[in-house]
Structure formats: structure tokens, C-alpha cells
Chains A and B, each alone.
Chain A
Amino acid sequence: MPPRVNLEKCNGCEGREESFCEEVCPGDLMTVGEETMRAFCRNNRDCWDCMSCVKACPRNAIETRIPYQLGYCNATLKPFMGKNSITWKCIDIYGNVKTYSYKNRLEV
């Protein structure tokens, strides 16, 4: 199940012309439901798991999940954008946690 939106955290980026996830998705897959006012993925099958929506969401409301066809459920990988750096927190299906952190921009 590629992008999973937490319906409590998501507010459809109320007040914006388009939500952040809608603005960034390279496949034009993320949009906001008219009645629900919550973001959703038009078609999970077309999702490349690039995680642009996950990174863009100001409320950390989106998580990527691997389709069950490929990987088992309940592992997570969350990016945290920093200044010129990024931190990833990964939890596998057995509960093992790993964190990775590195610079993704040089000071110019």
C-alpha cells in the first residue's frame, strides 16, 4: 500500500490551492478529496514509492508502505528533513530500529 495518509494528522493542507503532497508528486497521484478534505493516492498501483509526498508533508501525515506482493506489513521508514541534512528512522517487521543521518546539501 504505497502512500498511507493518517486521516487524523492530515487536514488537506486547508487554505492552500493544492496540498503539499499534491504539488510535489511526480506521478500526479496525490490529491485531496472534495468531501473528506483529506489527501489520498489516486491509484496505489502507479506509486513509485519515491517518498516525495512523505518528505513534503508539513504534518508528517504520510507514510510509505511496501505492497504486500513484495514485503510484509508493519515495517516503517520515516524521513526527517533537517537543514542541509536528512535523518531516516527505519523499523523492521521484528521491531529492530536503525537511524541514518547524512548531509544532503553543501553550504554554498
Chain B
Amino acid sequence: MTKIPTKRAIKFNPKNLGEIPVEIITADLLIIGGGNAGCFVAVEAKKNNPDLKVVIMEKANIMRSGACSAGMDAINTYIPEGKTPEDLVRWSRAQVGGGPLREDLALSNAKELNEAVDDLERWGLPILRDEKGKASFRGKWDISIHGEQLKPIMAEKAIEAGAEVYNRVAGTGLLMDGERCIGAMGLGVRDGKFYVFRAKATVVSTGGAGTLYKSYTADSTDSGAQIWMCPYCVGSGYAMGYRQGAELTSLEQRWVATRSKDFCGPIDTISVGYKTPIINCKGERIMQERYAHLGGEAAPRYIRANAPMEEWLAGRGPTYCDTRNMDPKLVDDMMVDYLNERPSFVLFLASRGQDVTKDPIETYGSDPYIVGGHTMGGYWVDIDRMTTVQGMFAAGETAGGNPNKFVGGCAAEGKLAARGAIKYMEGVELPELDMDQVNFEKERIFMPLLRDKAFEGVSSLEMKERLQRLMDEYAGGTSQYYRTNEERLDYALKHIKILRSQFQYLKAKDLHDLMQASETMDRVDVAEAVCHHLKARKETRWQGWQTRSDYPEVDNDNFDCFVESRRNPETGEITTFTRPYEKIVSGDRYLS
């Protein structure tokens, strides 16, 4: 039985740490996060070596967990006939304004890409094809799929391949042997156990970080998670490694995208797929009117992302994706696309009685996210996808330096990380379990549940919301049109320090709440790193993704490079530095 069954959460009120059971599992390969990348790591690892013991630690249930919960309507990177992996790298480079970019990672990924997507079709994912049987390209690199079953399809394959899936175990911290990662620990969200996974190699594929910033539609009753990014991806994967000294890259290159207003549903998918331009309240085509010199409709992504916000700020809002006069058949196709990726957006339109052929879809910017599968923020990894912490690998949104991966690229990267991990683990011996480390982490995680009745303290929700408003107002959130400056970032960092000093007051009422407490602490850690990165890049290279009001221009003399950070595991002190950009693929950096 490779899918360990789960149950309803127990009522758990331990009086002391001794009452918390510890479960120790030994494996060859540990995968934290059974999502898009994680499932591909598992399948590839077992394919390479069927005798490997591969374990997936998944905080939800692998069948529908993570960003692919509702499905996907498109695969946004797939190389068409006549184009090469180098061409894809050139496009990706131009999309981030000419880089910097880890071209080595981008190229190795692009070479694996089509095969990984073809795997999905072989596993049952419907790729839309024309009468001649060719994949229907809706954009330069984008193909349409009916991906409502994407996640179950990938999960089933991971299980079929023989991975042991521990559902409802939320990863909290790495297990270390000196500076080497030898596994990870996690909280049993239903059974209240403390899990220790010893493994020769660990892949962190926990997705990106949403919910660091306050969503502009958050209210006091039902609205708070209507963000584009999965709200259950909070950045725990980044936090775990960062706390152990792993190097992060490019967190200042946050992902902000034009999304449907209020609901934060996909928009790129329709403006690309259905050729519906972004317009302002006067009906002007924003991209052509104001950004023709940057490519108009084909301008880099961050220009497109920021454009509606600039219109609003200038008093020319609302902004829309011009779906008026669309052919009704195309509207149906578009609705099917939405039903495959974010079905509730169809309900949103129905909840407004909106006929999009008369009333165009309103657009706005999203809240900022850290997602290494879309922009570059994530771990600095080598060509084998190993981070700067020995034995810890990253795949998918957690791996930085290579933007524009999306579904296909995360799948490809899963395979690459699996191969890297297998190569690394040869000859690796696991040391005796360090119970001091285990007990330290157990205490850190369970403390909020061990409070007595008189304990005042703060809930995970309160601290999360405090952080989110802090980030929104001071670190360039939507309410600030993504702008920030040195003094605001220093303010944010000052308050983040206070938040950290108040972790000791966190309280949780049950296991679900306890998981939230752990996630809240992880968010604070990642948010702190984001602020340092935004501070370090003293220029504005990618407006919207990274806007410095005090340094509004590009500074190629000083910042045509990667911005890196590392946190000292003992002192918690963060240092930032740079790494040079290396151009590998020929061609003008700024042109695709």
C-alpha cells in the first residue's frame, strides 16, 4: 500500500512534549510536496531505479493538493515544430527584460520540456489537437489542454510508480548532519505525530509563496483566499532551507500579473489565446498606446502586468480585457478554459450576470508572489538542481533563476532534480539520528499547542494578517501599486523582527491551527528575505515585479547581475550579495 491512509484530525491537547509521538521513517529519496514537480520527481526516480525507496511528504492529499487543485487550461511552454530549446530560452530571456537569467538551467529544462508534456498526454491528459492531429497552439509556446484532471493524473502516476505518500504531513524543517541535509521533519496534521524522514537526498518541491501580501479583496467574513496563486503554498519550502543557510536568488523579482479584477482569475490565458487586448476606461488599447516602444502586445511580461495599474493610478481606470464582440463560440471555448483551471471564475461571472461580449472582463494587478516557476525567485541551484545546501534539491517553483517554467517546465525540472538526486546519493551514508535536533524542532512546532488555558498570546491568523498588511503597505503590495523605497523596506524589516520575537506568543487550538502557526512563522521568514532582496536591488529593472520609487531607472553598471541572499543559521543575520550573469545562448538579450 503506497498511499498511507488518513483520518479525521484527532482532538489533541498534549500537556508536554513527551506526549507527542515521534514517527521515524528512513528512505532513499524524500520529496517534500507532491505537486506538479514533486510527482515528476517520484516517477522519474522510480523509473531510473525501481529499488529506490521514494517517499513523498504531502501536507494535503496528493490527489488535489497545491496549485493544480482545480486543474489547468493550458501548457504555456511547449516547443513547436521548427523551434529549438535555444529559441525558448531567448523568448524567456526577453520576457524578463533581457535577464539576468540562468541560461544553463533554462536550456537544460527546455531540452526536457516536450518529453515531459508528452508524458502527461500518455498518462491521459487531453491535449487539444487540430484535424491533422497537431497540438493547437494558442500562443507562441502555449498549447491548450483540458486539464481538470491534471493533478489526479500526476498523483496516480506517482503512486503507481511506487512512491510512498504520506498525506497530511506538513513539512516544517530540514534534518541536518552538519551542513548537509539528510531529510526533513513534519507535523502530522491529522494524527498529531511528529514525523522524521531520514533520506540520502531531499527534493523540496513545495510550490511558491502566496499569502505573504494582503489580498486587496480580503474582508472580515468570507473573502481572503481569492488570489491567483494557491493560498496553501505559503513558502514553507523556501523557509526550511533558508533557515539552514541555503542561498536564495532573485526574490526581488516577484511575480505580479494582470488578473481579473476582484477575483484574481487568469487573464493572460485569454488575452493571449483569444487576442483580446487590454483597454482602459476610454477604450484605448493600453499596450499599443503607451508601450509600443517596448513591443506593444508582445512587450515583456512585467510591462503587461504593470500596465493596468499604471492606468488606474493615472485616473484612467477601470481597465479591461476587451472581450466585447467576441464570437459566441469562442466565448464558450474560453469558458471551458476557465472551467479547466479556475472553475469558480465562471461562477464569478455568473454572480455578476455578466455577458462578456457586452461587458468586458475587468482587469487589475494581482498581489505579489514568490514563484520560481514564473519569475526567478527561489533557491540558487546548480545544473543538477542541488541548492547550496548539500543533499537538498529544488524543483518547480522552489528552484530559482529560471523563470517561465509553468506546468511543463516544472514537470521537466522534476525529472532533472530526480536524476541529480540519484547521482548525488551514491555512496551517501546516513548518520545516527540526532535526537537533540529532533526535539528542538518538535518543541518549536508544537509549542503553540502546549499553552495552558490562561495563556493570552496571539493566533496564527492575527500574525498572518499583521504580516500581510505590513508587506502590502511597506514592501510594495497592491495598495501601493507595487512601489517601495529604502525607508519603507527598513520599516518592514524592523517590524518583521518584532513579529519574530513574538513567535513565542503564538497559540493554536487544534492541529489544523498548529499547521497554520508553523506556516505563519515560515511566511515571516520568507517575507524578511523578500525585503532584503528588494532593498539590495537599488534600481527598477522590472516595474511592477520590482519597483523602487527611490531608484526608478535601470542601473546596468551595478545591477546587471543576480541578487542573492543567505541567512546565517546561528545568528539569523541575512547578507545579500551578487552573482554575475552569464550569457550562453546567442542573440540579442532583449529580443525573442
Contact = CB atoms under 8 A, between A and B. Distances in A.
B125 A106 contact: yes
Contacts of A75: 347, 350-351, 353
B332 A100 contact: yes
Given A26-B64, A50-B64, A70-B351, A90 B346 contact: yes
A69 B351 contact: no
A58 interface: no
Contacts of B122: 108
30 contacts: A22-B8, A24-B63, A26-B64, A27-B225, A28-B168, A31-B512, A42-B512, A45-B222, A47-B222, A48-B230, A50-B64, A50-B344, A52-B64, A68-B221, A69-B219, A69-B222, A71-B351, A86-B148, A90-B350, A92-B349, A92-B351, A92-B353, A93-B351, A102-B339, A104-B126, A105-B125, A106-B121, A106-B124, A107-B124, A108-B123
Interface in B348-383: 348-354
Contacts of A47: 222, 225
B84 interface: no
A17 interface: yes
Nearest to A46: B225
B149 interface: yes
Interface of B is mostly: loop
Nearest to A70: B262
Contacts of A10: none
A81 to B, nearest CB: 9
B168 A49 contact: no
A25 B190 CA distance: 13
Nearest to A97: B350
Contacts of B263: 66, 70-71
Contacts of B149: 104-105
Contacts of B61: 23-26
A51 B148 CA distance: 11
B5 interface: yes
A92 B5 contact: no
Given A45-B224, A72-B351, A77-B350, A17 B8 contact: yes
Nearest to B145: A104
Interface in A6-53: 17-19, 22-28, 31-32, 42, 44-52
Nearest to A93: B353
Nearest to B224: A45
A53 to B, nearest CB: 9
A26 B351 contact: no
A72 B69 contact: no
Nearest to A34: B11
Given A67-B223, A70-B223, A51 B344 contact: yes
Contacts, number: 183
Contact of B146 (A42, A46, A102): A102
Nearest to A2: B222
A44 B222 contact: yes
Contacts of A76: 347, 350
Contacts of A105: 124-126, 149, 153
A52 B121 CA distance: 22
A32 B190 CA distance: 13
A77 B211 CA distance: 26
B351 A23 contact: no
A102 B223 contact: no
B512 A28 contact: yes
Q: Which of B148, B218, B515 has the most CB of A within 10 A?
A: B148
B221 A77 contact: no
B244 to A, nearest CB: 26
Given A67-B219, A67-B223, A103-B126, A73 B5 contact: no
B49 to A, nearest CB: 25
Contacts of B69: 26, 48, 50, 52
A30 B154 CA distance: 23
Given A49-B344, A77-B347, A104-B126, A27 B262 contact: no
